[in-house]
Amino acid sequence: METAENYYELLEVEASASFEEVQKAYEKKLEEVHEESLAAYSLCPVEENEDLLRKLSEAFMQLADPEARRTHDLKLESKPIQEEISSKPYLAPTTPVVKTKIESSSPSNEGKVVFLRPQLKTGGFSTSTGEAFQAKVSDTQKPNPITKLNRQNVSASLEEITHQSAKLRQDAFQNLAGKNKQTDAKLQEYYQFLEANEGVVRYSGSVLHQIRELKGITIMELATVTCVRGTYLESIEKENFKIFPSAVYLKGYLHCYLKALDLPLDQVCEQYMKLFDDWQEEGSENNSF
């Protein structure tokens, strides 16, 4: 039986740490990795930091979800685990998933879903009605899940997020897991649409935005689960790279974003971080001595 990974040790927190302490520990670790990777730039193989970052974000997401944290703690104690564990324990719903039609799922899914044609270079959006893929849903709701009220919450402070109760966070995790599961078919359709039009699925900021929208997940919901500020999450989708202190922070937050949306970490990170590298290169050419 393999030894369970001790995520408390990895993040250097006590097993009794509050959510706020766990979140602060993750941010501190990101800072350490940032400093170490900068100090060892050109000396240290890139993979070393990649592996560490992945482990850290994995640890954080597991300890951020009250249910997953319980699972982790039980594994550490090597007690038999009673409840059914899915392959992704930290986002698995504990209530059975009722198969519903798309039209009758949560309100945010009832909006008109238009697959906007992503402009891969600029990260913006355009509507090409001839090629737009439309799901047949009610016309009564506006498509944009980020309502005015939510927009105020996007810039909610970290303190506000970390002080949310464990119950609220647990509900948020379960809610997210439900949405991820329910929209699987829609996601596949979207991938087919991209392949038909672009030849390949290329994960840019605008594609990530589109995926989140079709899953009916708001930035606020993501922020609650990942504890990453809404402004950072939005910036990932807008490819607004200058807001991130360094690649380490961008990657750390991107990992959390992808885990929450149940997207393949390796594949997406590799493609997305290329955009960041290109942006950095352009910047240094313009600023060369």
Partner 1 sequence: MNDTSNSNSIKEIWAIGGGKGGVGKSFVAGNLGILLAQRGFRVILADLDLGGANLHTWLGVNTPEQGVSEFVDRQVEQIHELLIPTSIPHLRLISGARDGIEIANLKHTQKMRFLMALKRLDTDFIVMDLGAGTAYNTIDFFLLAEKQLMVVIPEPTSIENAYRFLKNSFYRKLRHTSSSFGLRTVIEQMLKNNNSFGIRSPRDLIEYLRQMGGNASTFIEDQLEHFQPNLIINQTRSESDIRIGRAMEKACLKYFGLTLNFSGYVEQHEGVRESVLRRKPVTLDKPDSLMSQQLKTISENLLRSSNLSTPLTPVYSRLIP
From residue 119, alpha-carbon distances to 46, 91, 128, 205, 255 in Å are: 30, 31, 11, 10, 23
Contact with partner 1 (CB under 8 A): which of 1, 3, 16, 41?
41
Closest distance of CB 141 from partner 1, Å? 45
Is the CB of residue 248 less than 8 Å from the CB of residue 179? no
Does 29 sit near partner 1 (CB under 8 A)?
Answer: no
Does 166 sit near partner 1 (CB under 8 A)?
Answer: no
Closest distance of CB 48 from partner 1, Å? 10
68-87 residues in contact with partner 1 (CB under 8 A) are none
Does 282 sit near partner 1 (CB under 8 A)?
Answer: no
- Eight-state DSSP code of residue 125: E
Does 34 sit near partner 1 (CB under 8 A)?
Answer: yes
* Residue 124 or 245 with smaller CB distance to partner 1: 245
Closest distance of CB 285 from partner 1, Å? 12
Contact with partner 1 (CB under 8 A): which of 15, 40, 81, 85?
40
Closest distance of CB 37 from partner 1, Å? 9
Does 39 sit near partner 1 (CB under 8 A)?
Answer: yes
Does 38 sit near partner 1 (CB under 8 A)?
Answer: yes
- Lookup: tokens for 260: 């929450």
Three-class SS state of 49: helix
Does 289 sit near partner 1 (CB under 8 A)?
Answer: yes
Stretch that binds partner 1, among 31-39, 127-135, 171-179, 260-268 (CB under 8 A): 31-39
Contact with partner 1 (CB under 8 A): which of 3, 42, 95, 157?
42
Does 50 sit near partner 1 (CB under 8 A)?
Answer: no
Is the CB of residue 164 less than 8 Å from the CB of residue 225? no
Any residues with CB less than 8 A from the CB of 41 and at least 6 apart, and which? none
Stretch that binds partner 1, among 41-49, 63-71, 112-120, 153-161 (CB under 8 A): 41-49
Closest distance of CB 211 from partner 1, Å? 31
* Residue 77 or 289 with smaller CB distance to partner 1: 289
Q: H-helix or E-strand containing 169?
A: helix 166-182
Task: Tell me the C-alpha distance between 116 and 167, whole Å.
Answer: 36
Say how far residue 287 (Cα) sits from the centre of its chain. Answer: 32
Stretch that binds partner 1, among 18-26, 37-45, 109-117, 148-156 (CB under 8 A): 37-45
Task: Tell me the C-alpha distance between 194 and 201, whole Å.
Answer: 6
Task: Tell me the C-alpha distance between 92 and 85, whole Å.
Answer: 8
Q: What is the DSSP string of 203-253?
A: --HHHHHHHHHHTT--HHHHHHHH---HHHHHHHHHT-GGGSSSHHHHHHH
Instruction: For the chain, give the number of residues.
Output: 289
Does 44 sit near partner 1 (CB under 8 A)?
Answer: yes
- Lookup: tokens for 282: 């352009």
Q: Can you give the binding site for partner 1, defined by CB under 8 A?
A: 31, 34-36, 38-44, 284, 289
